[in-house]
Amino acid sequence: MEKFKQYILKYFEQLFVLLVLLSTAGINYFIPYKIAFLNFYFLPVILGGYFLGRRLAMLGAVFATLAVLWFVYLQQDLFFVEQDTTTIYAQVVVWGGFLILSGAVVGSLADKLAEKIHSTEALNASLRGQEEALSAANTTLKDYSENLEERVKERTLELEQSRNTIESMKEKLEGALYSTMDPVVVKLMIEKKLRNEKRDITLLFSDLVNFSSYSENNPPEVVIADINRYLQDMEPILLSYSGHIDKYMGDGIMCEFGAPINYPAHRTMAVIAALKMQEQMLKFTHPWKMRLGVATGPAITGLIGFKRQTYTAIGDAVNLASRLEQACTPGGVLIDRDTYDGVAYCVEVQKKIQFGLREADVKKAELLDEMLNDVARTPGNIDLHYQIANIHLELDEPKLALKHLETAIGLDPANTTLMLLYAEAGLKAKAMDSISVKGKRQRVEAFQVTGLKNPLKNRETIPEPFYREFGRVADLIKIPDELILPVEVFDDSVGHSRLVSVIAYALAGRLGFSELEKIEIMNSGFLANIGKESVPPHLLNRSNSSKLSSSEEEIFRQYPLEGIRILKQHGYENQKMMDIISHARERWNGSGYPRGISGTDIPAGARIINVADAYAAMTSYRTYRQPWTRSAALNEMRRETANGLYDPAIVEELEKLMTRDA
């Protein structure tokens, strides 16, 4: 039955045409009453319209109408039903019109239905495809969701293992490098910033007295344990003052300051480190005494070696430091003239020895020493500078001669005699740099460092009445120097914090503070500059006239807060001191930092320290300028107070304190 149905549907068009032909022929040939059977044609037309569409249905209806009209034309009498011809034609035409219209209507409906069915089928097919895809996606998503957590754990574990492997390799590499090289050198090497260069640096050599005999008379494990304990005490000191430990030479140490990083205050850093090393030797029981030699001069620095490289220094300054160490008395620190010139403001020395002199030059050297003492008292004496320069040239020391000639020319630029001698000294210095005279030994002045100067004993800064009243106040400071000295050496301000703290104590007393408050202000003044540790040395040693960039200003703006962080790391928790230190750089008119508050909103202790710090800084030595006189500093502070920088009442009390001997 199904096959028959499919056959009918497949060949319906042909069957429809055959049906129409047979129906037309049969009705018109066999049926006597033709008009009565005309409506029969509606059936095939409607069927054609439904199954074949509008066009074919209309064509079939037209064909049936024409066929009937043809039979009417051939056999009119067969179509008469007691009607005239016109009526018959009219009936047939009307019938044909309705027949055609029926075919058209049914065909249109069939076409629309077929179109909708086709669209529906296409949509159903698309939906089935989407449903299948969605089902597949849901299946995949479900599977992925079920395994995602496990996959994430696996991937995380893989990444963690990779990271741990890399970190382990990095730590091993860094550990190997740090165990043989200075961390700063390693960092510069990794960043490809380590350069071979020639510049002035300071060298420190140390040596243990009688170490050889000690090592011969003791078991190896005892010797190694003792030497490691000694180095454990010395290393932190050298590193805290930014020294580069070049090498250990048995019981000796070679260390550079100012390399690989160029610190302008390398002389001070080296000498203070040497003093602290000797202090450390006295604190702990070591079976030896130590000698220390410190020399400054030009040296070539860089990586030396082929496969096994080391960062080191080469030059006359290295040899001189070694010679000074050998000439030093046990327990002492011996420095050369160049080093002394950079640290004279903060250390006490005794002239120890002169070596490398020809016998004929001994008297010249003695005369030179007398003249140097005289010029220190009268730095404006042009003739004295000229005579000193001549003696330096006679002693083959043209570079020292140039220093004094530059000072003299600065005092008298039009002096042709000075200019001629300066040219001669310049040519001689250049020749000595380029020609090495074999066997020649230059004169070496060596100074035994005995300790740090007390800044309160400087009568140019502190008047005698002030010192008599407050000179022993510094003994009340219980904070160890080791906390602030490594910061002060970076800008050659050794002793500055002690001076500020004592002046602040005196000012607080004149302003009516209690003893406890004065102690808090004094300690705050001692620690107020500890935040400078976060400021790059080249900014600390800049000229005051230098213009700071916005980023550099921000560094200075933040360093009081950085000081608070450092103090908390060291266990300081006194909140009053923290408030004073954090505001010690505020200005009376609000132009200071870090917050820019003004007037009495600034803690009184901070205002006192601000004034004390400014006065101490003006009257102290700096690498970029000479100290101001007391009167010049007070005049400048009066001017800046008028511009709103300082509390006028505190500056007034400072002036009274500092002019009591007038």
Q: Which residue has the higher pLDDT, 33 or 284?
A: 284
Nearest 10 degrees: Cα torsion 650, 654, 660, 661: -170
pLDDT number for residue 637: 93
Angle between helix 220-240 and 266-283 (nearest 10): 140
pLDDT greater than 60 at residue 81: no
Question: How far is Cα 296 from Cα 290, in angstroms, rounded to an integer?
Answer: 20
pLDDT number for residue 616: 93
Question: How far is Cα 296 from Cα 204, in angstroms, rounded to an integer?
Answer: 9
Q: What is the CA radius of gyration of the chain?
A: 54
pLDDT greater than 70 at residue 13: no
Mean pLDDT (the chain) is 82
CATH of domain 181-356+443-453: 3.30.70.1230
Q: Which residue has the higher pLDDT, 141 or 223?
A: 223
pLDDT in tens, 514-523: 999 999 999 9
Angle at CA of residue 210, ends 205 and 215, nearest 5°: 105
User: For 454-658, which CATH superfamily applies?
Assistant: Hypothetical protein af1432 (1.10.3210.10)
pLDDT in tens, 82-103: 556 776 676 677 567 666 766 6
What is the greatest pairwise CA distance in the chain? 175
pLDDT greater than 50 at residue 539: yes
Beta bridge partners, 313, equal 301
User: Whole-model pTM?
Assistant: 0.67
From 3.40.50.720, 1.10.260.40, 1.25.40.10, 1.10.3720.10, which CATH number describes the 364-439 domain? Answer: 1.25.40.10
The pLDDT of 325-347, averaged and rounded, is 92
Burial of 145 (0-12, 13-18, 19+ CB in 10 A): exposed
Of 1-5, 376-380, 448-452, 619-623, minimum mean pLDDT range? 1-5
The pLDDT of 8-23, averaged and rounded, is 68
pLDDT greater than 80 at residue 333: yes
The pLDDT of 445-454, averaged and rounded, is 91
The DSSP line for 436-447 is --TT----EEEE
Place of tokens 């750089």: 585
Domain assignments of the chain as residue spans, ordered by start: 2-132, 181-356+443-453, 364-439, 454-658
Q: Identify the helix (H) or strand (E) that includes residue 138.
A: helix 85-180
Question: How far is Cα 582 from Cα 528, in angstroms, rounded to an integer?
Answer: 8
Burial of 378 (0-12, 13-18, 19+ CB in 10 A): exposed
Amino acid at 128: R
DSSP state of 357: -
Nearest 10 degrees: Cα torsion 453, 458, 462, 464: 110
Q: Identify the helix (H) or strand (E) that includes residue 64.
A: helix 54-74
pLDDT in tens, 263-280: 889 999 999 999 999 999
Beta bridge partners, 202, equal 257, 296
pLDDT number for residue 357: 56
Number of residues in the chain: 662
Q: Cα–chain-centroid distance for residue 273?
A: 28
Question: How far is Cα 106 from Cα 52, in angstroms, rounded to an integer?
Answer: 10
Question: How far is Cα 19 from Cα 25, in angstroms, rounded to an integer?
Answer: 10
110 and 50 Cβ atoms separated by less than 8 Å? yes
Q: Which residue has the higher pLDDT, 151 or 406?
A: 406
Nearest 10 degrees: Cα torsion 590, 596, 599, 600: 180
Helix ranges, 599-660 (H): 604-618, 630-642, 648-658
